[in-house]
Amino acid sequence: YDGLLFETVWKKIRVERPKVIAVCDVSGSVANVARFLLLFLYSITEVIPKVRAFAFSNRLGEVTEMFNRLPVADAITQTLSEYGHGSTDYGNALADLERLTLEDIDHRTTVLVLGDARSNYGEPGDRALKRIHERARRVLWLNPEPKSFWNTGDSAMRKLAAACDRVEPCRSLRHLERVVSEIA
């Protein structure tokens, strides 16, 4: 070893890329900000390589493939026409999300929910979200309403927040930038 007391060995460090499962509420209660939320969802799919994107109002559907093949304006328009402006059903949407993604969720997965948590006095889906949270690295909820509106009327934010690592208002690009940099 030419006088050296040890042998140099280079260790390969495997970088684990984050996986993201993103769910966007496009129901009537968020109609004013639905395009903004979908634009954010679309931009996440461009920045982070492993993103599965879903949208819902009264039924949940995967929009990952649509976002990958269509330009942003067309993808948003098609998502809104297929899934948008209906009556919100968080209980059904989160149960569908659990059924469709639970096997793919692991210690690298961040689950991101974009929505106002207004359940129309129906089942909020907190039990399904808790089961998702048990497998995920973290669950983040971005709510487009001000905090003062949370837990008023039909908002189930308190119940749903109990199954999340972090709940934040999401009303500006600054909020979104902070969350994307944290996920990436």
Predicted confidence (pLDDT) per residue in 13-69, tens digit: 777 778 999 999 999 888 888 888 888 888 888 878 889 999 999 889 999 999 999
Could you tell me what percent of the chain has a pLDDT over 70?
95
> Across residues 74-97, what is the average pLDDT?
92
Q: What is the mean pLDDT of the chain?
A: 88
Task: Please say if the pLDDT value at position 106 is more than 90.
Answer: yes
User: Which stretch of 30-39, 83-92, 155-164 has the lowest confidence by average pLDDT?
Assistant: 30-39
The pLDDT tens digits for 122-154 are 999 999 999 999 999 999 999 998 899 998 999
DSSP conformation letters of the chain: -TT-SS---PPPPPP---EEEEEEE-SGGGTTTHHHHHHHHHHHHHHSSEEEEEEESSSEEE-HHHHHHS-HHHHHHHHHHHH-SS---HHHHHHHHHHHHGGG--TTEEEEEES--B-TTS---HHHHHHHHHHSSEEEEEESS-GGGTTSTTB-HHHHHTT-SEEEE--SHHHHHHHHHHH-
Kindly report the pTM of this predicted structure: 0.86
Q: What is the pLDDT of residue 172?
A: 73
Res 60: pLDDT: 93
91 has pLDDT over 90: yes
Lowest-pLDDT range, 16-20, 76-80, 165-169? 16-20
